[in-house]
Amino acid sequence: MKLLNEHDRESCRNVWIISEFLPDGELHAVSFELLGAARTLAEELGCEVWAAALGRDVSKAAPQLISRGADKVIAVEDGRLEYFNDEFECNILERLVCKYRPEILLGAATSRGRALIPRLAGKLYCGLTADCTGLSIDKETGVLLQTRPAFGGNIMATIQSGGFRPQMATVRPKVMKALEADPIRTGEIIYEAVTEKDGEKIKEIIKAVTEAQSNVNLSDANIIVSGGRAVKGPEGFRLLEELASRLGGAVGASRAAVDSGWIAYPHQVGQTGQTVQADLYIACGISGQIQHLIGMQSCKTIVAIDKDDSTPMMQMADIAIKGDLFEIIPKIIEELDKNGINKGGNKQ
């Protein structure tokens, strides 16, 4: 294994981010958020921010990455990079990390990042902290301090992997702050070719499909309208969909609702579903089993609508509306209409 071990720690420099792309080849907003976090760390360390961009064509993305805080962009272009291929991307990144020796490497805690980055850490023999909510540099030792929720958010653990390089972390979308685009910011684009070896022992991508229905993308949604057992059936979810559509949000669900077959699994929020960080989470008829609360407690504003105001969800909520959701939600929709609020669908 090509270890960047303790002995050459001093030779490692700069903060890398692994850029995240959307299916259409545009950059995912989390790439800019990673750059924002990376800039703060780089300023502390007095080093540069590099962005690795792997894709079919990153010519448009590279200058965007620079305008958002990258000093250098490592551009790797190949037709096979249009779709996510764990092995291929890992092979490329492993080679580039060994070549350029970053001190810190940040990735997105997306379904892609959460598969790719641990594979890379596994190959490189270095530490990786998942889903960090805070990143800073220890003033004395200069190592990266990575803070993440542990035990379902019961405690915040601060973790370091300073004995190994690069120090790696993933960050969920919407956690870090992106910098405004600065069109006059300059940087260098380094093109790196794919080698034959990079393409060895890689899987075959047969088909990739982006769902037309956009109200299922919970991880990027700013607003989520979520339903539980008291929604009573698929019909009830139509009502939630309508509210979500007015607000420009996605539709979530508790495990009980998903297991009852009222809504598909990709909508499930919680321990065995998605973890979400929306600005606004409206829980409709969800009593709040711990498995659910763990998945949505990081949302900024939590609203609960329930007949029973003693439930854990009503207690956790910032706004608790006591009443029958089948009566209240139509009135909320009316009220939104009166105020001219209608986003007419999810804008993710």
Partner 1 sequence: MNTEKNYLHKSYHVEIIPPKQDSEKLEEDLILFSSKLERVMNSGFTASITDNAMGLLAFQGHECIEELGIPIKPGQILIHLNTFHTKKDLHEILTGCLKLGITSILAVSGDGSTRLPKLSPADVEAENAASVTSVELISYIRKNFPQFRVGAAFNPYEPEKHEFEKLDRKLAAGASFVITQPIIDRNAAVDRLLREYPELPVVIEAWMSKKLYLLSDVVGYPIPEDAEYDPIATLQKLEDIYSGCGSYLSLLGFKTQYPIIEEMAKEGAV
Partner 2 sequence: MKIAVCVKQVPAAGDAKINPETKRIIREGGKAVVNPFDLYAIEEAVRIKERTGGEVIALSMGPEKAKAALTEALSMGVDRAVLLSDRAFGGSDTWATSYALAKAIEKIGGVDLILCGKQAVDGDTAQVGAGIAAKLDIMQAANVWRIEEIGADTVTVKRINERGWDVVRLAYPALLTVVKDINIPRIPKLRDARAARRAEIPVWKPEDIGADPDKIGLKSSPTQVVKTAPPAARGAETLKIDGSSEEAANVFVSELIRRKLV
- Candidates 244, 262, 282, 306; binder of partner 1 (CB under 8 A) is 262
Does position 272 interact with partner 1 (CB under 8 A)? The reply is yes
* Three-class secondary structure of residue 128 per DSSP: strand
Q: What are phi and psi of 122, to 5 degrees?
A: -65, -40
- Candidates 25, 152, 163, 234; binder of partner 1 (CB under 8 A) is 234
Q: For the window 303-322, what string marks contact with partner 2 as x by the rule CB under 8 A?
A: x-----x--x-xxxxxxxxx
CA distance 216 to 226: 11
CA distance 287 to 274: 18
* Three-class secondary structure of residue 169 per DSSP: strand
- Burial class from Cβ neighbours inside 10 Å (0-12, 13-18, 19+) for residue 60 reads exposed
Tokens describing residue 198: 């990079």
Does position 123 interact with partner 2 (CB under 8 A)? The reply is yes
Does position 5 interact with partner 1 (CB under 8 A)? The reply is no
Does position 308 interact with partner 1 (CB under 8 A)? The reply is no
Cα separation of the two ends of the chain: 41
- Candidates 130, 175, 240, 244; binder of partner 2 (CB under 8 A) is 130
Tokens describing residue 136: 């800073």
E strand or H helix at 42, and its extent? helix 29-45
- Candidates 28, 246, 255, 267; binder of partner 1 (CB under 8 A) is 255
Tokens describing residue 118: 């641990």
* Three-class secondary structure of residue 284 per DSSP: strand
301 binds, among partner 1, partner 2, none (CB under 5 to 8 A by kind): partner 2
233 binds, among partner 1, partner 2, none (CB under 5 to 8 A by kind): partner 1
Does position 219 interact with partner 2 (CB under 8 A)? The reply is yes
- Candidates 158, 160, 217, 260; binder of partner 1 (CB under 8 A) is 260
Q: What are phi and psi of 315, to 5 degrees?
A: -75, -35
Does position 44 interact with partner 2 (CB under 8 A)? The reply is no
101 binds, among partner 1, partner 2, none (CB under 5 to 8 A by kind): none
Quote the least distance from Cβ 203 to partner 2, whole Å.
5
Binding footprint of partner 1 on the chain (CB under 8 A):
232-236, 255-256, 259-262, 272, 291
